[in-house]
Amino acid sequence: MGHGPMDGLRSLERQRTARFEAQILAHLDSAYRLARFLLRDAAAAKDAVQDACVRAFSAFDQMQGPDARSWFLAVVRNVCMDLLRERRHRAHDEEYDDDEHGGAAGSGLVPPATPEELAMRASDSRWLREAIEKLPKDYREVIVLRELEELSYKEISAIVDIPIGTVMSRLARARDLLQSRARGAYREQRR
Amino acid sequence: MNCAMAVRMLDAHLDNEVDAATAADVASHLAGCPACAAAHEERLALRNAIRAANLREGAPEGLRESVMRAVRARSARRIPSRVVQWWQALALAGCAALAGLIGGWWVAQPQVLEDLPAIVVAHHVASLTPSGPRVEVASSDRHVVRPWFQGRAEFAPTVRDLKDQGFELIGARRDSIRGREAVAVVYRLRGHFISVYSWRRSDGAHSELDTTVRGFNVVQWSDRDLDYAAVSDVDGVELKRLVAAIRS
């Protein structure tokens, strides 16, 4: 093979693939964690991330730079939301029926529990993972993006496509719910 | 700062999302209020618990490899199987230039741009280049098109996947309608391009309206805080079908 225009194209594509690997796949772990917590299913999360990567690759030229991670996570989240919507169509998804209204955690001041109670549950990481997985989706995603990925409110607002004030109120509610469940679980254990 | 205010700022304070002055206010309130201090303690304990639980598992083994395989396969498909010959390119360019000249002459006939339909038609026509409509993000994937506007426009446009109804998503671009920031989402139906403009509403909702300007059909409507105008040379019935699908 000589040096025709095709060789130039091939080498451009190789460079593009390498850039994609460096800039987008660097966030593969974050993408998987987000998908895993949103879908609550390891196999589905793998497929969703792969799907999102191929979509992101097709549009990669238009999105680079410091916002690459937020953009990529937004693509991952969108793919997951579509899967969840499909799931809900197929069966009655039990997405929103867990105790959104339960627990002592209303708005405002939460009756203080001792930090020891929480520390008690903390030693049990499986319990904590399940507690997060049981949160309604809107609260689950902001907790995962904030506590696991340590993203700023601004980045979360861009990924979830909600105002910054809503990021703040959902985080507060998510933490209230986790705390009240930790307290509930602790009391149950002592009974 | 009172308790209600402190509680409201507790999470933002914990997440370092408040300015220095507010942080100082919250800290001084916590120092003097045992109830709020306990609530803050509990938040800290929860955060430490989550960090200690080490929930940051990595992607499973093999995912990276399988992603890269899929990406390379996609990449290979982007390389055309053959290169266009020079005379083919020349013939194509000639045709495009001729079409552009004729279209340009017709469109350039002087017009007074006063009403909205005329304005969106002018913008739509200006976006049509010989190589297709001008778009800043070119993708048939709405999951790619919508997030592209994050941080680039003051609102994100409605983007629908209407492939099964025959409307192919081409991409989107930013524009300005009567000095207001607008976004145009571009669809294609059988070779006809359709621009769907949206912008933040400034006054009352404008009434639903369809009209024809210089052979282009225009459908206007409002939804929540956005005004919309769809414009295309496609048949008026088809344009209304697209609008109905977008609004559904």
CATH code of the domain in which B164 resides: 3.30.200.100
Residue B79 lies in a domain: yes
Is B69 at the interface with chain A, CB within 8 A? no
Residue B200 lies in a domain: yes
pLDDT confidence tier of residue B205, bands split at 50, 70 and 90: low
Pairing mode, strands B132-133 and B192-200: unpaired
What tens digit of pLDDT does each residue of B66-107 get? 999 988 888 877 766 566 677 788 888 888 888 888 887 776
Return the exposure string of A117-131: e unless at least 16 CB atoms fall within 10 Å of the residue's CB, then b: bbebbbebeebbbeb
Is B77 at the interface with chain A, CB within 8 A? no
Chain B hits for A28, Cβ within 8 Å: 59, 63-64, 67
Pairing mode, strands B137-138 and B216-223: unpaired
Chain B hits for A168, Cβ within 8 Å: 11-12, 17
Residue B25 lies in a domain: yes
Give the A window 130-159 contacts with B, CB below 8 Å.
132, 146-148, 152-153, 158
Residue A175 has pLDDT above 50, yes or no: yes
Claim to verify: residue B120 and residue B243 sit in the same structural domain: yes
Nearest CA in chain B to A53: B67
Asked whether the beta carbons of residue A125 and residue B59 sit closer than 8 angstroms, the reply is: no
- Asked whether B145 and B165 are in contact (CB, 8 A), the reply is no
Which of A9, A110, A132 lies nearest to residue B79, judging by beta carbons? A9
Claim to verify: residue B124 and residue B233 sit in the same structural domain: yes
Is B67 at the interface with chain A, CB within 8 A? yes
Claim to verify: residue B149 and residue B240 sit in the same structural domain: yes
Q: Specify the number of domains making up chain B.
A: 3
Range of the domain at B214: 115-247
What tens digit of pLDDT does each residue of B38-67 get? 999 999 989 988 888 888 888 998 999 999
pLDDT at residue A122 in the model: 54
Q: Which of A50-64, A158-172, B184-198 has the lowest mean pLDDT?
A: A50-64
Claim to verify: residue B121 and residue B22 sit in the same structural domain: no
pLDDT confidence tier of residue A96, bands split at 50, 70 and 90: very low
Claim to verify: residue B39 and residue B84 sit in the same structural domain: no
**Cα dihedral angle (B180, B183, B188, B194), rounded to 10 degrees?**
-10
Is B6 at the interface with chain A, CB within 8 A? no
Residue A114 has pLDDT above 90, yes or no: no
What tens digit of pLDDT does each residue of A13-70 get? 888 888 888 888 889 999 999 999 999 999 999 999 999 999 998 887 777 556 788 8
